[in-house]
Amino acid sequence: MTNLYHVFSEHLKAENPLFLNRDQQCEATYGALDSRSAQYAGALLKAGLEPGDRVAVQIEKSYENIYLYCGCLRAGLIYLPLNTAYQASELSHFINDAKPKLFVIDPAASTAHLDQLDHQVQTLTLDQEGFGSLRDWVDASPAHQEIFPSQNHDVAVIVYTSGTTGLPKGAMISHGNLVSNVRTLRSAWGWTEHDVMLHTLPIFHVHGLFVGLHLPLLSNSPVILMASFNADSVIKALPHATVFMGVPTYYTRLLSSGISPKDCANMRLFTSGSAPLLSQTFTDWEQATGTTILERYGMTETGMNTSNPLEGQRKKGTVGPPLPGVECRAVDASGMDVAPGETGDLWVRGENVFHGYWQNAEKTAESFTDQDPVHGFFKTGDLASIDPEGYVTIVGRNKDLIISGGLNVYPKEIELLIDQLDGVLESAVIGLPHPDFGESVCAVIVPTRENDRSEDDIISLLKADIANFKVPKHVFFIPELPRNTMGKVQKNELRTRFSPPITS
């Protein structure tokens, strides 16, 4: 059987510390993970959930959140994490589409909007301290020790990811995908029981959930779990850790906070991903800390595809060669491999690649080169070149996507909302260079004649409706959008026009 939790538990050392606090004291062992997750599994099954049912989760990061995740895995339930920043209007699509049997929310969250949905879902609560109606139910339920015999292709997690058109799609990630990727990374990054992971990423995305957690769970190694990233807290905790993972913004913030070689003396590995690491940051980091960041490249749909080596050269500006078992191709418009060093569309294939989009055969078929995802290559939407030594460089994207502080924003979604506002004729949303977030979301608006909207109006209207990270940091007004002869908005022209980089 390939159940991911079964793989974690095969060599489980119950006495090993799992969660360490900042004073290096053990707050929970692997034995506690095993018994608490069995209790979560028991409670969920007692509530009537069956293998294959979806459990949507929009709660803060906590130990109990991780026990819940492992409880879902061991019961064969599909875990569906949601960004805590999403607002009511953004949630309805996920609930209507995935039709979860249970929605775990924060006790402070409003449930009013859930009554309006097509799909009626039961809710239970869990707060950041691990209390709420779900916890009460779990404490009163018998543990369920057996682990569901999931097979390679059985879906373990659905993560929603947007597209350039249409609504977000649920990427179905199987037990086999997760097992293969974590085993590959353990060997590529030399992870052992003695590593201590300083974990500050959110756990509603693949970076923090799969990469940041699965590696320790597979190795029975401890985790210092912080609710969110804060540069000063990280610098204080680093001497007790050996591995840290972050998006590029974490590294630029650590540099601004004066990180030094002394802070990193115990560190074995710093990894970066989810967005491009600027060459400048790579170099500044080496100079400031005496350590070299290992950059890797991944996606929700694929997990990790490439990584700079643990030993050997970590090439600045590249994301390293494909990981063992992963094939990467840079191809031209006809699907032929481009020459080494030339730019093409990046396609990937391997056991790490997901099984398609939830109930969306059409989008699944469009995204693969073959009807069968197992045999075909997945078209990443990224543009890349591969050098003669096999190192991949992500050159750009052929998808209209902005990555701000490691979070993805799809311009179309924001443009549709802006276009509905009074005083707006049309809009184009673009990413502009930003010193902290890498890219920032900016809106270019053509007002109606009777426009009386200001930048602040637009921003506050959007803030009422959508997650803050998607709200434009700046709004520009122009009389007309530049278009090519086909009528397509020339976003490159807008990006050039509204650069040089914005600094606030």
Residue ranges that bind ligand AMP, judged by CB under 6 A: 161, 206, 273-276, 295, 297-300, 319, 380, 382, 394, 397, 403, 408
* Among ligand MLC, ligand AMP, none, partner that 161 touches (CB below 5 to 8 angstroms by kind): ligand AMP
Contact 240, 24 (CB under 8 A): yes
Smaller CB separation from ligand MLC, 298 or 373: 298
Closest CA to 320 of 341, 354, 294, 339: 294
State the alpha helices, DSSP H only, in 348-452. 361-367, 411-419
Give min distance, CB of 323 to ligand MLC, in A.
Answer: 12
Give min distance, CB of 435 to ligand MLC, in A.
Answer: 12
Pair of tokens at residue 34? 């095993």
Q: By CB under 6 A, is residue 273 in contact with ligand MLC? A: yes
Which residues in 350-422 belong to E strands, given as ranges? 378-386, 392-397, 402-404, 407-409
Q: What are phi and psi of 231, to 5 degrees?
A: -60, -45
* Among ligand AMP, ligand MLC, none, partner that 144 touches (CB below 5 to 8 angstroms by kind): none
Q: Which of 249, 306, 307, 393 binds ligand MLC (CB under 6 A)?
A: 249
* Among ligand MLC, ligand AMP, none, partner that 247 touches (CB below 5 to 8 angstroms by kind): ligand MLC
Pair of tokens at residue 473? 């940091």
Q: By CB under 6 A, is residue 274 in contact with ligand MLC? A: yes
Give min distance, CB of 392 to ligand AMP, in A.
Answer: 9
Q: Which of 105, 237, 299, 348 binds ligand MLC (CB under 6 A)?
A: 299
Choices 22-30, 112-120, 186-194, 204-212; region in contact with ligand MLC by CB under 6 A = 204-212
Give min distance, CB of 282 to ligand MLC, in A.
Answer: 17
Contact 275, 248 (CB under 8 A): yes
* Among ligand AMP, ligand MLC, none, partner that 397 touches (CB below 5 to 8 angstroms by kind): ligand AMP
Smaller CB separation from ligand AMP, 383 or 446: 383
Q: What are phi and psi of 353, to 5 degrees?
A: -80, 135
Contact 316, 279 (CB under 8 A): yes
Give min distance, CB of 276 to ligand AMP, in A.
Answer: 4
Closest CA to 299 of 233, 239, 223, 378: 378
Give min distance, CB of 468 to ligand MLC, in A.
Answer: 3
Smaller CB separation from ligand AMP, 126 or 407: 407
Pair of tokens at residue 298? 């991944």
Give min distance, CB of 303 to ligand MLC, in A.
Answer: 8
**Per-position x/- string for 386-415, each x denoting binding to ligand MLC as judged by CB under 6 A, each - no binding:** ------------------xxxx--------
Give min distance, CB of 212 to ligand AMP, in A.
Answer: 14
Q: Which of 411, 437, 442, 462 binds ligand MLC (CB under 6 A)?
A: 437
Q: By CB under 6 A, is residue 276 in contact with ligand MLC? A: no
Smaller CB separation from ligand MLC, 31 or 309: 309
Pair of tokens at residue 453? 């909207």
* Among ligand MLC, ligand AMP, none, partner that 208 touches (CB below 5 to 8 angstroms by kind): ligand MLC
Choices 23-31, 34-42, 198-206, 344-352; region in contact with ligand MLC by CB under 6 A = 198-206
Contact 286, 298 (CB under 8 A): no
Q: How many CB atoms lie within 10 A of CB 199?
A: 23
Q: By CB under 6 A, is residue 352 in contact with ligand MLC? A: no
Cα distance between residue 348 and residue 362, in whole Å:
19
Cα distance between residue 180 and residue 178, in whole Å:
5
CB neighbour list of residue 308: distance below 8 Å, 6 or more residues apart: 294, 295, 296, 314, 315, 318, 319, 320, 391
* Among ligand MLC, ligand AMP, none, partner that 295 touches (CB below 5 to 8 angstroms by kind): ligand AMP
End-to-end CA distance of the chain: 52
Residue holding tokens 């005496």?
A: 290
Pair of tokens at residue 450? 């009777």
Task: Report helix, strand or coil for 494.
Answer: helix
Contact 362, 100 (CB under 8 A): no
* Among ligand MLC, ligand AMP, none, partner that 404 touches (CB below 5 to 8 angstroms by kind): ligand MLC
Smaller CB separation from ligand MLC, 89 or 151: 89
* Among ligand MLC, ligand AMP, none, partner that 308 touches (CB below 5 to 8 angstroms by kind): none
Q: How many CB atoms lie within 10 A of CB 107?
A: 14
**Per-position x/- string for 460-479, each x denoting binding to ligand MLC as judged by CB under 6 A, each - no binding:** --------xx----------
Q: How many CB atoms lie within 10 A of CB 68?
A: 29
DSSP states of 449-473: TT----HHHHHHHHHTTS-GGGS-S
Chain residues in the site for ligand MLC (CB under 6 A) = 201-202, 205-208, 229, 247, 249, 273-274, 298-300, 404-407, 437, 468-469
